[in-house]
Chains A and B, each alone.
Chain A
C-alpha cells in the first residue's frame, strides 16, 4: 500500500475548482431531507483512439468528458442526479435534486474526510504528447504489416489503439474519501481472409491498465496481428459445428467467460438481495464440482478489471465465490452490503458519472487444478474443444447462459481434428459447473479485452480459467 495519489486530488482541486468545503456543502445539501448516506463521484476522462485501416491512418480522435454524480441513499431507495457543469451552483442544485428521494429531518453536516490509501496497482503516465501519438501509430502500423505478411489470403486489416485516463474522486457522508487515476489501453487487430468465395474473419487484441511500453515488451503488435490472421485463415477451412449435448473441453484464458456468465452475474449481491437470481439462498450449498474454486480479484496489478478503489471509493479485494464446489459468497457494493448485513467486497462500479453504482465483477477466474491439459483432450471420445469466444449472455433468474465459440475444434477419439464454424454453447448456471470433471494445471488470464454489460452499463473486466472438461453441455451448431 502507498498513500493515495496527491496528484489526483490536486487535479480536482486546482483544475476543476473543488475544495473540501464545497464537498462538505454538497453532501450537506444531499442529506438536507434526511437519508442514510450520500456520496459525490467526480470523474474526468481523457480518451484517444487511432486506427489504421487499409494501411491508411484513417481516423484519429480524442475526447474529454467530465462530470459529477450525486447519490442519496435512504433505506432501499436511491436518489441520483448528475451534472457535467461543475460550478458550485450546479453541484448544489444536483444535490438538492438527489435529496428528493428522502423525506425527513436534515442529517448532521459532514465534517472532515478520511482518505483511503492506494494499492498502487498500476503506473500512471503524464499527459499525452505528440511523441506518444507517434509511438502509438507506429504500433498499429506494425500490426497492419504483420497481419498482411502472415498470409496472402489476408485481404483486409484494421488495427486500432485506444486508451484513456480516468481520474476519479469519491467523497461520502461517512467521511470516506478516495481518489484514483486509472489508465486503460487496448490494441486491437481485426482481419478478413479470402480464398475464392470463401471469406472469414479473425480478431485479436489485448492490454490492460498498462502504459505504452507494455506493447513494446510484453505483448507486441505482431503477437496480436499474427493471432488475428491465424484465426481468420483457420476459419476458411471450418466445418459446421455439431448440434446437441456432448462433452466440451474449454481452453485456458478467455474461455473463462463461461464463469462470468454461468456463475459471476448470478453471484452479484443485488440480484440475491432481491431474490431474483437463480443462486439466491444457495450459500453453503454445492453449486459446482468439488474441483471448482472461483474467485473475483480486483487487486491484480495492471489487469483490465483491476482497481485500487471501486467507484464508491472502497478498496478492491480478492473474494472467494465458490470454494471446492461450495457457494461461499457474493460480490457486493455499499448498498447491498448494508441491507444484507454482509461485507462490502469493493465491487461497486459504474460506467460513468451518469450512472448509479451497482455490484459488478472485476477479474473473475477459476483456480488451477492438477490435470495435464493433454490428458483432458485425450479423455474425450467425441466432443468439442473451444479455445476462443465472442460474447456471452445470461438470464440471471432462470440461470440459462450462452457464450459463442469463435475458435473451436472437433475432438474425435481423443484427438483435436477439424476447426468448426461459430456456434453458441448453452447451459444452466447453477447446474453446468457440476459437470466439470477435469481441471487443468494451466490457469491463464485473458489478454485484456473484456467489457461487461449490465442494466445498460459497460465496465472493463477480466476473466481466466485453466483448461477444463465439462462432461456435457449443449452445442448449438447445425451439423451432426
Chain B
C-alpha cells in the first residue's frame, strides 16, 4: 500500500484516467471506458443544542468497463495503487470472456460524444468556506428556531449542516474525456412535538443548494419544520371513501418519480412498464406537460455530459398528455431502435443505468390556496410512506397523512390511512395544477389535485 500513499497525495487528472483506458486496450479490450470519482463530505448534527455528531472524510474510486467485440464486463476498486489498477484490468479481462455476445452492446458511436460548453454553475467553493465552529452554529440555529417556535416542541431529532464536493472524470477509447465538479450543502431540522395526551409527531424541513450563499436562513428552515410538525398533532383516521386528493409539492414529486420509473428505457424495452409501447399516444390529460432538462444552470439534475459522454439535453417527455420521449442510454436506445436521450447514469460499478436531468411538471396558473378553495370535501396529502407503486401495472397504493379539506379550508390532521388508484387513470384525472414549481431536488412538481382515488381508513 506504499504506492497508494504516494498516488493519493497527487491530484488525479484526465491523463490518469485515459491511461487506464489505454492499458485496457493493450490488455486486449476492443473498447474501454474508465471513470474516476472522488468526494469529500462534512456532516454536523446538533441535538437539543449540543453537538452530537461530526463527520469529515474523503474517498476515491475507479471504475472500468471493457468490451471485447460485443461482450462486456466491468470492475471497480478503491485501491488506486499500481497493484490495485492491475487487479482492476486483469479482473475485467477475465470476466469479459464469460459474458455473451450481445448485438446491442457497445460504446456510443464516435459522432455522438460531446459536452455542454461553459460552466453550468455546479460547483461553488463556498460550501467549505465556513470554519467548523460556524458550521455547527448553522445546525444549532436551525434546530433552535424550530424548538423556539412552539411550546409543544420539547424534543428533536436534531438540526444539521452538511456539505459535500465531488469530482468525476470519464474517458473512453473513442476519444471522449470529460471532467465535472459539483458541490452541495444543506441545513435541516427535525422537531418532535407532543400533544397533551402524549401522542408524538415529527416532521422535517430542509434547504439544499449548490452554494452556501443560496441556502435559506436557518431560522426560516427551523420555523417551517415547526409549522409542519405541530399541524400533525391530534391526527385521526377518516372513513374509507373516494374524494379529491390535493398533493402538496413534496409528495406530488413522488408521482413524477413513478412516471420517471415508467419511462426508464430499461423498463420500456422489457415491457415492464405501463408506458411501454405508448410513444406518440395520449397517456395523460391534455393539461400535463413534463420536461426533462439536464442543461439548467445550477440544477440538481444538471451535468455537462451524461454517464457515457453524450451531451445532456432538454426534452419534452409528455406534451399536453402525449408521450413524446422515453429516457434512454445507448443500450436501451439500441434495443428500442431509437437514439440515446443523453440520460446514461454511471456509478463506479456495473453497466450504465439511466437517470433524469431536472425532471418537472410544467406549472399551471392557480395558487395552491385557490386549488384548495375549490374543494368542498377532500384530503390535502402532506406525507406518503411505503413503496406502493407497481410500474408494470400502474397500481398505486401508499400510506398517507395530511389535513382534511372542508369547504375549501384545511381543518384537522389525518393519519393511518392509505391512498390508492392506478397511475394510468390518475394521469387523466389531474384536475388542477398549481403555479408553485420549486426545485428542491432534481425532480420537482407543483401542487396537484387528483380526482377518483380511494382513501382506505376506518
Mask, A48-90, CB within 8 Å of B = 1, is 0110000011111111111100000000111111111111011
B168 proximal to A (CB < 8 A): no
A220 proximal to B (CB < 8 A): no
**Distance (Å) between the CB of A472 and the closest chain B CB?**
10
* Assembly CA distance A247 to B159 (angstroms): 41
Q: Considering residues A97, A158, A403, A404, which has the most beta carbons from chain B within 10 angstroms of its beta carbon?
A: A404
Binds A, one of B15-23, B89-97, B144-152, B364-372: B89-97
**Distance (Å) between the CB of B410 and the closest chain A CB?**
19
B110 proximal to A (CB < 8 A): no
| Contact B100 A56, beta carbon cutoff 8 Å | yes
A398 touching B240 in the complex, CB below 8 Å, given contacts A77-B50, A87-B1, A474-B416? no
* Assembly CA distance A228 to B66 (angstroms): 32
Q: Which of B58, B99, B274, B420 contacts A424 (CB 8 A)?
A: B420
Q: Which of B76, B101, B399 contacts A64 (CB 8 A)?
A: B76
| Contact B75 A61, beta carbon cutoff 8 Å | yes
A216 proximal to B (CB < 8 A): no
A78 touching B76 in the complex, CB below 8 Å, given contacts A57-B100, A84-B60, A404-B387? no
Mask, A132-149, CB within 8 Å of B = 1, is 011001000000000000
Mask, B229-265, CB within 8 Å of A = 1, is 0001001010010000000000000000000000000
* Residues of A with C-beta under 8 A to B274: 199
* Residues of A with C-beta under 8 A to B232: 398
Residues of B32-82 whose CB lies within 8 A of A:
47, 50-61, 72-79
Q: Which residue of B lies closest to A155 (CB)?
A: B271
Binds B, one of A271-279, A314-322, A410-418, A435-443: A271-279
* Residues of A with C-beta under 8 A to B102: 56, 58
A62 touching B75 in the complex, CB below 8 Å, given contacts A57-B99, A84-B59, A477-B454? yes
* Residues of B with C-beta under 8 A to A17: 1-2
A59 touching B58 in the complex, CB below 8 Å, given contacts A476-B456, A478-B454? no
* Assembly CA distance A87 to B79 (angstroms): 12
Q: Which of B105, B351, B401, B420 contacts A476 (CB 8 A)?
A: B420
| Contact B418 A276, beta carbon cutoff 8 Å | no
* Assembly CA distance A63 to B232 (angstroms): 45
Q: Which residue of B lies closest to A64 (CB)?
A: B77
* Residues of B with C-beta under 8 A to A156: 270-272
| Contact B157 A404, beta carbon cutoff 8 Å | no
B376 proximal to A (CB < 8 A): no
Q: Which residue of B lies closest to A56 (CB)?
A: B100
| Contact A133 B417, beta carbon cutoff 8 Å | no
| Contact B47 A80, beta carbon cutoff 8 Å | no
| Contact B95 A62, beta carbon cutoff 8 Å | yes
* Residues of A with C-beta under 8 A to B387: 390-393, 404
A201 touching B272 in the complex, CB below 8 Å, given contacts A58-B100, A475-B456? yes
* Assembly CA distance A94 to B415 (angstroms): 45
Q: Which residue of B lies closest to A192 (CB)?
A: B272
A336 proximal to B (CB < 8 A): no
Query: Interface size (B, Cβ < 8 Å)?
Result: 84
| Contact A59 B192, beta carbon cutoff 8 Å | no
Mask, A457-480, CB within 8 Å of B = 1, is 000000000000000001111100
A60 touching B95 in the complex, CB below 8 Å, given contacts A243-B420, A404-B397? yes
A82 touching B393 in the complex, CB below 8 Å, given contacts A156-B272, A404-B388, A478-B420? no
* Residues of A with C-beta under 8 A to B453: 478
A8 proximal to B (CB < 8 A): no
A80 touching B271 in the complex, CB below 8 Å, given contacts A64-B79, A67-B78? no
**Distance (Å) between the CB of B12 and the closest chain A CB?**
13
A397 proximal to B (CB < 8 A): yes
| Contact B75 A423, beta carbon cutoff 8 Å | no
A427 proximal to B (CB < 8 A): yes
Query: Interface size (A, Cβ < 8 Å)?
Result: 83
| Contact B50 A426, beta carbon cutoff 8 Å | no
| Contact B5 A90, beta carbon cutoff 8 Å | yes
Q: Which residue of B lies closest to A50 (CB)?
A: B98
| Contact B271 A194, beta carbon cutoff 8 Å | yes
* Assembly CA distance A266 to B77 (angstroms): 37
A87 touching B399 in the complex, CB below 8 Å, given contacts A57-B100, A397-B202? no
**Distance (Å) between the CB of B307 and the closest chain A CB?**
15
* Assembly CA distance A426 to B383 (angstroms): 14
**Distance (Å) between the CB of B346 and the closest chain A CB?**
13
* Residues of B with C-beta under 8 A to A245: 240, 457-458
A342 proximal to B (CB < 8 A): no
Q: Which residue of B lies closest to A63 (CB)?
A: B76
A345 proximal to B (CB < 8 A): no
* Assembly CA distance A64 to B388 (angstroms): 34
* Residues of A with C-beta under 8 A to B8: 85, 87, 90
| Contact A404 B77, beta carbon cutoff 8 Å | no
* Residues of A with C-beta under 8 A to B272: 156, 192, 199, 201
* Assembly CA distance A94 to B79 (angstroms): 18
| Contact A400 B415, beta carbon cutoff 8 Å | yes
A81 touching B57 in the complex, CB below 8 Å, given contacts A276-B155, A390-B387, A423-B397? yes
| Contact A422 B388, beta carbon cutoff 8 Å | yes
B107 proximal to A (CB < 8 A): no
* Assembly CA distance A155 to B96 (angstroms): 27
* Assembly CA distance A201 to B272 (angstroms): 8
* Assembly CA distance A79 to B454 (angstroms): 47
* Residues of A with C-beta under 8 A to B56: 80-81, 97
* Residues of B with C-beta under 8 A to A200: 392-393
| Contact A402 B201, beta carbon cutoff 8 Å | no
* Residues of B with C-beta under 8 A to A50: 98
| Contact A402 B100, beta carbon cutoff 8 Å | no
| Contact A476 B388, beta carbon cutoff 8 Å | yes
| Contact A199 B74, beta carbon cutoff 8 Å | no
| Contact A402 B421, beta carbon cutoff 8 Å | no
| Contact B271 A199, beta carbon cutoff 8 Å | yes
B419 proximal to A (CB < 8 A): yes
**Distance (Å) between the CB of B421 and the closest chain A CB?**
6
13 residue pairs of the A-B complex, CB under 8 angstroms, read A50-B98, A57-B100, A76-B50, A85-B8, A90-B5, A156-B272, A199-B272, A243-B455, A402-B388, A423-B418, A424-B399, A426-B386, A476-B399
| Sample of 14 further A-B pairs with CB below 8 A, known A60-B95, A392-B387, A401-B399 | A63-B77, A65-B76, A133-B98, A243-B456, A278-B200, A393-B386, A398-B232, A402-B386, A423-B418, A424-B399, A427-B416, A428-B416, A476-B399, A477-B456
10 A-B pairs closest in CB distance: A476-B418, A87-B5, A402-B399, A402-B386, A243-B456, A63-B76, A244-B240, A391-B387, A56-B100, A397-B202
